[in-house]
Amino acid sequence: MRQLLFTLFVSRALLGISASSFGDNVTGEVVNLEVKPIIFLPTLPEAKVFGEQGELKYCGGLQLSSGNSAFGGLSGVILLHNGSRLLAVEDVGRWFSATLHYTKDGHLNNLSDALLGPLLDAEGDSLIGKELGDAESIIASGHTDDLDFLISFERRHRIWRYHLEGGGSGPMHALAQPVANVTDYILQAGCEENGGMEAIALLADGGLLVFCEKPPPSTDAIHVVPGWVFDVQQGEAPQKLFLDCKEDGWYPTDLATLPGGDVLVLQRFYSRAKGSAMRLRRLKQEDICDGVTLEGKLIAEFSAADGFAIDNMEGAAVFVHDTWGTRLLIVSDDNFSPSQQTVLHMFQLSESHRNRSEDTWAAPPSSEQEAHDETRDNRFILLCTIYTLTTMSATCIAVLTLRKWYSWRKEDWYRQMEPSIQLRGTSGDEDMAADLPAQPYADM
């Protein structure tokens, strides 16, 4: 019994399934962090430009750790106040905020003033724990108050509107009504308890784009996940659409709306053999409509196996800085595991950085590109095989036809020569022999 109680106590301490880490305090409490600057590709530290077309310019990264067991599990992130303040949600019912510091040229190099607090429901009760507090994504609500947010939850599938009080120090409580009636649609689609709304984004027209993380277990398309566009203002029935993840295991973990209205999709992958990997895809604004299956354009693919300092990448946020332009921040969920890490990486987004002087990392072919190349090579081999067989068949047919024609000509010649041969054999006339060719088939 003592061993069981000890196990339960350790589990609650590690996973944060109790609000006791904060006592009765519902505001944010200071959390001490160890902040370590990191390089995105340590094996090639001079590389600054990444992506299929050089769309990503690296602007710094941080690795965060803490002796406080309540810190970790960052699943969604948003940037406030011109990128100077970070706000994230943990998937055990907490919010985390901190101040970001940059060099003069905009390179992320430090983090300070970290706060950690519990998410509250509309009655002010704490949601800490997996059952009610599995928060996965946070975005701006679209209201004029920049401390109003939408947060999506798994397990108990829902999206709630939240307000962070105290000028950002908390408490952070849910407003009375859930946003749209998303629960029914998630359940009707058959999404798993732990495969719900990982990725949400507010579109330029005010629609709320939502994708489940995983396809329903009953579906045959194991790499296609369901999604919806909800009208949060009118409450009308949502548009239904799908996202083709291209390969099994590459599931969406967050969305971020770009200034022009397109949407960036963060996909993550993990296997014991290959480790962690991530992809960024871009969905065109005009393609997001009822009934479609979206694929998007591949922007970049990174893998820990290729040396990149990534982990279980789950959160993505885009903001526009007054001086530095459009920035992307991605963050990892360490699952409260000592074998995983909480890392942040920041990039400047552009159509292309290829014309700049910065060193560019030459990306190896992505698994998707490798699959495409393999298919292309297989088709080429098949065409060559068909051509070879066709040529050989045509040659064989030509040879057989010539042999047949030659045989017919021989038989025709015999028939023409038969009277002369008979005449020679019966007359005994030596002059008749002169009329016959000498050894008529000697060269045949």
- Does one domain contain both 78 and 34? yes
Query: Domain tally for the chain?
Result: 2
308 and 419 housed in the same domain: no
- φ, ψ for residue 243 (rounded to 5)? -120, 120
**Among candidate residues 318, 335, 361, the one where a domain is terminated:** 361
Residue 289 pLDDT grade (very low, low, confident, very high; cuts 50, 70, 90): very high
Q: Is residue 117 part of a domain?
A: yes
pLDDT on residue 388: 76
Q: Which of 361, 392, 414 is the last residue of a domain?
A: 361
More confident residue, 372 or 325: 325
Residue 196 phi/psi, 5-degree rounding, is -90, -140
pLDDT at 373 over 70: no
Last residue in a domain, options 332, 361, 390? 361
Range of the domain at 421: 375-433
Same-domain check for residues 54 and 164: yes
Confidence (pTM): 0.76
Residue 9 lies in a domain: no
Mean pLDDT of 93-109: 97
Side-by-side strand order, sheet with 208-212: 197-202, 208-212, 224-230, 239-244, 293-294
* pLDDT(281) > 90: yes
Tens digit of each residue's pLDDT (9 = 90 or more) over 388-427: 787 787 887 877 777 776 777 667 666 666 665 555 554 4
Q: pLDDT by residue (tens digit) across 291-350?
A: 999 999 999 999 999 999 999 999 999 999 999 999 999 999 999 999 999 999 999 998
- Tens digits of residue pLDDT in 232-247: 877 788 999 999 998 8
pLDDT at 386: 81
Q: What does the pLDDT average to over 71-77?
A: 97
Assess whether pLDDT exceeds 80 at residue 4: no
| Pair (424, 327) in one structural domain | no
CATH no. for residue 305? Answer: 2.115.10
The more confident residue out of 431 and 257 is 257
What's the rounded mean pLDDT across residues 277-284?
97
User: Given its phi and psi angles, is residue 7 left (phi above 0), alpha (psi -120 to 50 degrees) or beta?
Assistant: alpha
Q: What is the mean pLDDT of residues 151-177?
A: 88
Does 366 fall in a domain?
A: no
Mean pLDDT of 65-92: 96
Are both 391 and 352 inside the same structural domain? no
Which tokens in the block code for residue 71?
Answer: 């810190």
One domain for residues 92 and 43? yes
Per-residue pLDDT at 203: 96
| Listed residue (257, 258, 281, 256) closest to 268, CA to CA | 281
Q: In angstroms, rounded to a whole number, what is the distance separating the alpha carbons of residues 235 and 207?
A: 11
On whether both 65 and 107 belong to a single domain, the answer is yes
Q: What is the predicted pLDDT for the residue at 293? A: 96
**312 and 402 fall within a common domain:** no
Residue 47 scores a pLDDT above 90: yes
Q: What DSSP string describes 76-99?
A: EEEEETTTTEEEEEETTTEEEEEE
Whether 370 has a pLDDT exceeding 70, the answer reads no
Indicate whether 35 and 182 sit together in one domain.
yes
Whether 69 is covered by a domain: the verdict is: yes
Percent of the chain with pLDDT over 90: 58
Question: Per the domain annotation, does 2 fall within a domain?
Answer: no
307 and 280 assigned to the same domain: yes
